Amino acid sequence: MFKNLIGGEWVNGPRVSPNINPSDTRDLIGLYAQAGPEHAQQAVAAAQAAFPSWSLSTPQQRFDILDAAGTEILARRQELGDLLAREEGKTLPEAVGEVVRAGNIFKFFAGEALRPGGEALASVRPGVGVEVTREPLGVVGLITPWNFPLAIPAWKVAPALAHGNCVVLKPAERVPGSAWALADILHRSGLPRGVFNLVMGRGSDVGAVLLGDPRVAGISFTGSVVTGRRVAATCTARMARFQLEMGGKNPFVVLDDADLDGAVQCALQSGFFSTGQRCTASSRVIVTEGIHDRFVAALVDRMKTLKVDDARKPGTDIGPVVDERQLAQDLEYIAIGRAEGATLAAGGTVRERNADGAPGFYLSPALFTETSPAMRINTEEIFGPVLSVQRVKNYDEALATANDTAFGLASGIATTSLRHATHFKRHAQAGMVMVNLPTAGVDYHVPFGGRKGSSHGPREQGRHAAEFYTVVKTAYTQA
Ligand code: ADP
């Protein structure tokens, strides 16, 4: 039984939840204790008690702990990657990559702990000096989704601790294993009791307690738009700080002058890999008419070579969908696309068993062509391996179509034109822009986040993470 971590103790809960492998639903990864609302309150109390001391801990202490955690994560990349692929269903190489990313994030923020910035300015008054410094925010509630079971907890926990905050982490119900492994690493890392707490459980009770508790100074949330709105409303009502990363409907533009193979590879990678279950996934490919037919033919050819199978089997390109509910949602959108008149050019078929006969949620990547901007498959986030192609006349129409969305996380373009690449970087209405690169796949040391309906609040990751996890102080001194 894997337990919750509250105030440095491993604690049971009122319920137990099985963690099931989506590649083989007969495979039980483990039983995970589910916290109740009272445990969330206890975790907040423990974090609050630990805060006065941790907020004054030295940069060296924070560096040593975060660096040690990063070293352990990197050293155990194969084992943790195997667990991650087993519980989430992304392929083993993708999962190991995510673990490496998480380890590097801890290393990066270990360094950040040593670099607290500040400014010294002259006052407008004679003889007075001004200092602008950053202090920890307080107790932070971190609420994470299932699609990056280790990297997203890492990119919230590491900056929170580096900047002197105390943490209550509530991971997604479907993937408690990786978050538990992170809690175990941090528990043994030398962190004082209560600085980091893990409460596994339902969003509607455990998560809701974190949103409403006046002792929680900030909430960093990644998940659905619906829950994000709830986080915003609850935090606004009590004037707590919040940061949201939600959905995407990321466009990938392919222009006539693009390198065809490169463009196909980008669309394939960010449309279908990780089973399309990434908020940075491309789900709309917008193609100018001179290259459209060649692009679609080449993409369909490449799609035929993709192997959908057990996430941990060598040679698998795409693992299963995470669970039955998500599979039902993917299939519903495939039905909607057909009903709206789009052409299903490839894929979209379900297999209930993989090549070895193991039961799981296998969906072949689906490609819709001849789609139009108003179709629901082009406006709503599906979160599965479903890609739609829109045909446009020229660059101007491509850019307008790319920006015609309620979301604004990532936006990509394939072109050999410097003029179009430069114009697109400036005019794409997205937090992240990729030129001749897939929209998914970002570095760990630079800001991550979107615009419009995708995100709210300061950027995550990199140096910009300090904007959420610290508060600014302006101090005046008369010498
Ligand atoms: P998804 O559909 O991707 O699971 P959710 O927004 O439902 O997205 O879940 C993201 C995270 O938010 C999960 O950890 C979930 O438990 C949590 N959550 C869900 N509902 C609430 C809520 N009412 N209050 C706080 N957290 C919630």
Q: Is the CB of 172 under 6 A from ligand 1?
A: yes
pLDDT of residue 116: 79
Average pLDDT of the segment spanning 356-374: 97
Catalytic residue set? 279
Mean pLDDT of the chain: 97
As a whole number, mean pLDDT of residues 56-78 equals 98
- The answer to whether residue 479 scores a pLDDT higher than 90 is no
Ligand 1 atom nearest 145 alpha carbon = 10
Single-letter code of the amino acid located at 54: W
Q: Are 13 and 7 in contact (CB under 8 A)?
A: no
Give 450-470 pLDDT, tens digit per residue: 999 999 999 999 999 999 999
Choose the residue to mutate in 140, 227, 330 for probing ligand 1, maximizing ligand atoms within 8 Å of C-beta. Answer: 227
Q: Report pLDDT for 137.
A: 98
pTM of the model: 0.98
Class of the CATH-defined domain 4-246+454-478? alpha beta
* Residue bearing the CA closest to ligand 1, atom 4: 145
Nearest-atom number in ligand 1 for the CA of 143 is 14
Residue 117 has pLDDT above 90, yes or no: no
Confidence of residue 13 (pLDDT cuts 50, 70, 90): very high
Return the pLDDT at 463: 96
Distance from residue 202's CA to the centre of ligand 1 (Å): 8
Spacing, Cα 145 to ligand 1 middle (Å)? 7
Residue 361 pLDDT grade (very low, low, confident, very high; cuts 50, 70, 90): very high
* Each residue's pLDDT tens digit, 191-209: 999 999 999 999 999 999 9
pLDDT at residue 233 greater than cutoff 90: yes
Q: Assign 3-class secondary structure to 42-86.
A: HHHHHHHHHHHHHCCCCHHHHHHHHHHHHHHHHHCHHHHHHHHHH
Indicate whether residue 453 lines ligand 1 (CB < 6 A).
no
Pocket of ligand 1, candidates 44, 143, 200: which has the most ligand atoms within 8 Å of its Cβ, to mutate?
Answer: 143
How far away, in angstroms, is 173 Cα from ligand 1 center? 9
Q: Which residue CA neighbors atom 13 of ligand 1 most closely?
A: 172
> What is the whole-number distance in angstroms between the Cα of residue 39 and the centre of ligand 1?
18
pLDDT over threshold 90, residue 237? yes
pLDDT at 289 exceeding the cut of 90: yes
CATH superfamily of 250-435: Aldehyde Dehydrogenase; Chain A, domain 2 (3.40.309.10)
Sorted by where each begins, the domain ranges of the chain are 4-246+454-478, 250-435
Task: Indicate if ligand 1 lies below 6 Å from the C-beta of 223.
Answer: yes
| pLDDT value of position 322 | 97
The pLDDT of 44-68, averaged and rounded, is 98
Query: What's the pLDDT score for residue 451?
Result: 98
CA-proximal residue: ligand 1, atom 15 (nearest): 203
